[in-house]
Structure 1
Amino acid sequence: MFFVLLFLITNLKGREYKHPSALFCIMVVISSIAGYLAGYVDSSNCTDALLYAICLYALALLITTCSRRGRLETFMSVFFWMTVIYCVLSIVFIARVGTADGPLLYYFAGNKFSTSYYFIMLACLAYAKLRREGRSKDLVVLVTAGLGLLALVVAHTVYCSTAVAMSALLIALVILPRKAQRILEKPAVVIAAMVLTGVILAFLLQLLQVPFVKHIVVDVLGENLTLTGRDLIYSGLRAVISESPIFGYGYGNAAVAMYVGYGNAQNSIMETLVNYGVVGLFAVFYMAWTSVKGDKPSWSWGMYIMLYAMIAGSIVEITYNYYFFIALMAIFVASEDIQSGGIEKDEKQSVCCVNGALTRR
């Protein structure tokens, strides 16, 4: 990270530091300072908040810089193969160490959630990479769906039912016709989906009584109708949020643990409100809206799939994480790429290279 920061500081100037993630990163720091002054977090939490904000902002600038300098293809290729290595090592680790239905066993890539999310990201990066290379749509769909199925199997193996549902959604989204994709790419639809994941908690208990939903939750995913005690967490969140609604409690706070007895809010919208308040949630919405607006090339649908998978998982987990933000950052540069004509040029070059190779043969 030090060398990334050194590169950015010595190469970027003025408006090149502008990025929609900046507001959220600033709010992470401000909320944590406010939480420290109010006694909700300590100095180590503030330090962690600063490091988290710097890393997130640096990653955003790195992706944007690669795009503006014509190296997005290289960045995506490196990111893809790094993810492949993580996934392969995760499979080896699972094969040698085994799995367990509980939070205590950690895998090569972290816990069961991060392990499962890596495989979801692999499928989405494969879609984006293959589309940018000009591969046929049928091949791209087949490869992505196959990797999505692998993600589903891994998630089931490590007992991560949330990631099982997210992987199933990935497979469903990859086969959508382009007209449906364009609808889901609209900023208003993305924001509406994010808002819905928070609003749904108000009538979640009634929704779980619907026979079809009950069948999916109990029989398919193997969960109980309390969603492993989440109903108790959700019922206590109003009291938690009402104590510090504007700036929240700060990064790494223990507010939910103190009020409800659980480690976090188990919902990304509510967790954002707890940590960073209304201003922090607004910053997330602003970043999402700014990142997804504008025309998009076809390869960006792979990143939209990852975005929607994370949004779906955010109903019952904390998925506004690096996977979520990487999807937004990649979608953001896709807008810049198509505006500069980079995509059409890259695709033409790929086709020419293939035709040239066939001619030489």
Structure 2
Amino acid sequence: MKFKINAHSIDVILMMLALLQFSFIPRTVFLVFRYVVTLYLLYRYRKVIVGMKIIPILLVLYAAVLCFSTLVNTFSLTWVISAFMLIMQYVTFFGVFLGMVKQHGVERLITLLCIIFLICLIVNDSLFLLIPYDFTDPNETYLIGNKFLVSYYHCLFGSLIYVKYFFSKKKYYSPLLIIYSAIVSMIVHCTTGIIIALSILMMMLFPKKIRKFMEKGSTFIGSLILENFLIWGPFHLFTNPLIVSFVVNVLHKSPNLTGRTQLYNATMDLVEKSPIYGYGHNTDIYRDTLGYGNAQNGLFHIITQAGILGTVIYFTMVYLSLNHKMLERVYGLIMYIYAMLIGSAVEINLSTQFIIAIAIIYAITNNQGCSIDGEKEDDSSL
């Protein structure tokens, strides 16, 4: 397909540039750019966003809970604005992706996203050979972010390639890219990235019946509950001798999961003390309590930030975004969100990159009036 740059393509590019915080750009400059782009896209895609009805309403409710919790816990207007703009950025993901699909079809959106990620990742990885990074330093920052972001974006790119070439013999590109993602994760010492990449590779082998079962919002939410029940419930998964042996002998980590055991134990007490609203956006409650760390678990990170109320709203939004008649083609992204769910057992990754995948799935499965490869050349106002 011959690719053309149009107004909607530029919007997608702007949105992704406001997401990928390049390390050479000062943080203040980046935040101003991100806020301006977010406000512009909210206005430009207001009709599409309003037309989605329940999803933006839930995101606004989640923003309200998160902002309230941030205000009462930090008394910082700056952090409240940061929390609000983050969730508004999530809203733009849904609006821009859906607007692009309705105007130009799924193929145009997926192709554009693949091009954006391909360029960014090639430049990012090329710098590995030119810049003397300290890959053993967990705080090292690469072109597109820290070791986690580098790993997550590589896996997301590989998953998008799976979607793009789903009906083509070129579908084998995706497993090769996911293997490469695992290698990059090894280079930057991101164990979670390796686990996510290997999980995606495993899910590529699943039979059609299991794939169909996974393509349901209820299955994802059930998997989220099951995973965390195994971790926090009577099974105490991370204290199981087999798991401890795997962590120590295969992953070469400490038996307490690099200090996570203490953080997990503290989480229960923290949630019990503030169960409804939590402790606010980017909370320092763990540092205030233990002197280091964060929840180190995707679900409990959201609970400690926005409480049980915010968590219920957030995952209701996720459930409803997935609760549509799925197309077989979106399985590449289904693999990604389940792999991120697996990784969330030990990291706080059920946020931006996770929501991007959810928003793309939503746009594809709500693609009314457009064929899977359909294009509409009308660039009229949204």
Q: Report the Cα offset of residue 212 of structure 1.
A: 4.2
**2:161–2:174 Cα contact (<8 Å) kept:** yes
CA deviation map 1:191-237 (0-9, x unaligned): 01112333233259853454543443222222121000000001111
Pair 1:329-2:359 in alignment: yes
Q: 2:371 aligns with which of 342, 345, 350?
A: 342
**1:40–1:255 Cα contact (<8 Å) kept:** no
Partner residue of 1:230? 260
Letter in 2 for 1:151: S
Partner residue of 2:104? 70
Pair 1:91-2:125 in alignment: yes
Pair 1:110-2:139 in alignment: no
Q: Report the Cα offset of residue 182 of structure 1.
A: 0.5
Q: Where in structure 2 are there 5+ consecutive unaligned residues?
A: 1-33, 376-382
Q: Report the Cα offset of residue 285 of structure 1.
A: 1.6
Q: 2:168 aligns with which of 124, 129, 135?
A: 135
Q: Report the Cα offset of residue 17 of structure 1.
A: 5.0
**1:19–1:61 Cα contact (<8 Å) kept:** no
Q: In 2, distance between residues paired with 1:72 and 1:177?
A: 25
* Root-mean-square deviation over aligned CA pairs: 2.3
Q: 2:272 aligns with which of 214, 220, 242?
A: 242
Q: In 1, distance between residues paired with 2:210 and 2:56?
A: 27
Partner residue of 2:218? 188
Q: 2:89 aligns with which of 51, 55, 58?
A: 55
Q: Report the Cα offset of residue 243 of structure 1.
A: 2.1
CA deviation map 1:135-174 (0-9, x unaligned): 13xx41x211111100000111111111111110011111
Query: Equivalent residue of 2:335, what SS?
Result: helix
Q: Report the Cα offset of residue 24 of structure 1.
A: 3.1
Query: Equivalent residue of 1:318, what SS?
Result: coil
**1:109–1:115 Cα contact (<8 Å) kept:** yes
Letter in 1 for 2:213: I
Q: Report the Cα offset of residue 309 of structure 1.
A: 1.2
Partner residue of 2:251? 221
**1:29–1:49 Cα contact (<8 Å) kept:** no
Q: Report the Cα offset of residue 190 of structure 1.
A: 0.4
Partner residue of 1:198? 228
Q: In 2, distance between residues paired with 1:150 and 1:7?
A: 34
The answer to which structure has the higher helix fraction is 1
Q: In 2, distance between residues paired with 1:317 and 1:91?
A: 23
Give the fraction of aligned pairs with identical amino acids, expressed as a percent: 22
Pair 1:150-2:180 in alignment: yes
Q: In 1, distance between residues paired with 2:84 and 2:65?
A: 9
CA deviation map 1:93-136 (0-9, x unaligned): 222223422322111111110011111011001011112xx313
CA deviation map 1:292-328 (0-9, x unaligned): 1122112200110110111011000011121110111
Letter in 1 for 2:307: G
Equivalent runs, 1:208-357 vs 2, <5 Å? 208=238, 210=240, 212-337=242-367, 340=369, 342-343=371-372, 346=374
Letter in 2 for 1:165: I
Partner residue of 2:64? 29
Partner residue of 1:125? 160
**2:69–2:277 Cα contact (<8 Å) kept:** yes
Letter in 2 for 1:135: S
Q: Report the Cα offset of residue 256 of structure 1.
A: 1.8
Aligned length: 339
Partner residue of 2:14? none
Query: Equivalent residue of 2:144, what SS?
Result: coil
Q: In 2, distance between residues paired with 1:7 and 1:48?
A: 17
Q: In 2, distance between residues paired with 1:10 and 1:206?
A: 48
Letter in 1 for 2:225: V
Q: Report the Cα offset of residue 69 of structure 1.
A: 2.2
Pair 1:179-2:209 in alignment: yes
Q: Where in structure 1 are there 5+ consecutive unaligned residues?
A: 348-361
Q: In 1, distance between residues paired with 2:213 and 2:280?
A: 35
